Structure 1
């Protein structure tokens, strides 16, 4: 009689290794396997999406001191070479810093930027006073403090101020 439990235990051990790899959810009591979980999700109804873009209410983030200072080590003030882009659907945006060149550029192009609905990213900002000076140079335009290193790498740019649209990169 002692041989049956030993053989049974050995067979159970082999059966565990013979099964294909189980996920963590499959070995948990009451866990869902991926196919069961996916079948239980409601279908996506694409007709419920709005016909136009919804813009985030940025007024909820009144206190931006938690993100400051912002430094973008891949970017510095300077001249850029205008070039064409092919990015259909891209909404216009611009990169600026707290330097005098950016402030003058913003002041000079504020009306044009506002008319095209461009949003601004302040990629070098030391404190709330610097952010206020940047925003004062282009009143009525949303300008948020953001690290611009990823954008700089993807668009292969080294300098700001710069305006990025669906068709061009320009200063």
Structure 2
């Protein structure tokens, strides 16, 4: 029992040092530590091993294609009213004939609203560029929209989403 008490008191005595204030050994004023790591950075040269699953240096739109939204198909959109004050207008389209016609018909209105287009089903860069020829001054971005369709309970496109709701 005496040994146990002895060890407990020693432990308590040594643990008091852990409550001591921290001492600042060096303060270099927030200097970046990057220079310390430069020596261990890998060399970039043409003879370096090329890995097939490595991320390319530059990523283009063609690398993002095809874009497939499994939960959205071309068709009639029922209006869905809601209030999202301050939301910038976006529209969902694909590369099908219905989307081509809708984009042609609504181009001026979309341009006036400065709407951004999400191309939710597109296979090739050529198909995307065909849409850009129909609407040359609108931003058209290849983007899957399954999550958006779930949140808005939307199953068809083309659709315009504004601060007041979804419409076609």
- TM-score tier after normalising by the smaller chain length: 0.5 to 0.7
Distance in structure 2 (CA, Å) of the matches to 1:123 and 1:63:
17
RMSD (Å) for aligned C-alpha atoms: 2.7
Structure 1 unaligned residues grouped into runs of 5+ = 16-28, 31-60
Q: 60, 63, 88: which one pairs with 1:63?
A: 60
Distance in structure 2 (CA, Å) of the matches to 1:107 and 1:121:
15
Distance in structure 1 (CA, Å) of the matches to 2:153 and 2:135:
26
Q: Cα deviation per residue 1:27-64 (whole Å; 9 max; x = unaligned)?
A: xx99xxxxxxxxxxxxxxxxxxxxxxxxxxxxxx9821
Distance in structure 1 (CA, Å) of the matches to 2:130 and 2:61:
14
Structure 2 unaligned residues grouped into runs of 5+ = 16-21, 24-57
**TM-score, normalising length: structure 2:** 0.66
Answer yes or no: is 1:102 the counterpart of 2:79: no
Distance in structure 2 (CA, Å) of the matches to 1:134 and 1:5:
83
Given the superposition, is the C-alpha separation of residues 161 and 6 from structure 1 closer, same or farther in structure 2, using an over 3 Å criterion? farther
Q: Cα deviation per residue 1:72-104 (whole Å; 9 max; x = unaligned)?
A: 011000001123221111111100001110011
Distance in structure 1 (CA, Å) of the matches to 2:61 and 2:147:
21
Task: Report the counterpart of residue 127 of structure 2 in structure 1.
Answer: 130
Question: How far has the Cα of 1:3 moved from its partner?
Answer: 3.6
Answer yes or no: is 1:111 the counterpart of 2:105: no
| Helix, strand or coil at the partner of 2:62 | coil
Given the superposition, is the C-alpha separation of residues 123 and 5 from structure 1 closer, same or farther in structure 2, using an over 3 Å criterion? same
Give 1 or 2 for the bigger CA radius of gyration: 2
